[in-house]
Amino acid sequence: MDLELSDRVAVVTGGNKGIGLAITKALVAEGAVVVAGSLSTENLDGLDCVMAVPVDLLAADGPARLVQKALDEHGRIDVLVNNVGAVRIRVDGFLATSDEEFEWALKMNFFTGLRATRAALGPMLERGSGSIVNVPRSTRSSIRTPPPRLRRGQGRGGEPEQVAVTGIRGLLVIWG
């Protein structure tokens, strides 16, 4: 299948294992150059067309540093995949969930994607094109947090005005 990704620059958060590693490999197989960030990079090191970036994506400046690395090396970002995320099973329910657990879930599953999107969207808007893919994490017993995403709204074709006019696409991938 040709997804027309040859010579595109993709940034993948949480790219070292699981879905993120599979996404990274699939993007490379389609011809993209991937800048993949994760706390550890042992599964990324040595992969062709992959720049492995060790980065703490929970740190407030982590996602922006990853995006900046891609911009410094390649001059642009064509695709951002917000993949970092995790769930913690909570068998005792909502009332037993502490503020610290909610804070962790928001940082892991919301703010990392929000910060990466914020960092990548400006350069994409300047170029007039780009795609942002959000891969949320949730299960019935986890704390559910909405992933950052571009909602259909008031602009052309149902897209938010600023995004529709400049050609940025927002996608949400839901597994299951």
Helix axes 112-127, 62-74, angle to 10 degrees: 30
For 60-89, how does the pLDDT look when each residue is reduced to its tens digit (9 = 90+)?
A: 999 999 999 999 999 999 999 999 888 777
For 2-42, how does the pLDDT look when each residue is reduced to its tens digit (9 = 90+)?
A: 777 889 999 999 999 999 999 999 999 999 999 999 999 99
**Nearest alpha-carbon partner for 146 in 118, 175, 172, 176:** 172
pLDDT of residue 174: 52
Is residue 148 scored above 80 in pLDDT? no
Mean pLDDT of 46-73: 97
Model confidence pTM above 0.75: yes
Contact status, residue 115 vs residue 166, Cβ threshold 8 Å: no
Mean pLDDT of 47-64: 97
Tokens 């960030």 label which residue?
A: 37
Q: Which residues, 6+ apart, have CB-to-CB distance to 146 below 8 Å?
A: 110, 136
Q: Which domains does the chain have, with CATH numbers?
A: 9-172 (3.40.50.720)
Q: Residue 154's pLDDT band (boundaries 50, 70, 90)?
A: very low
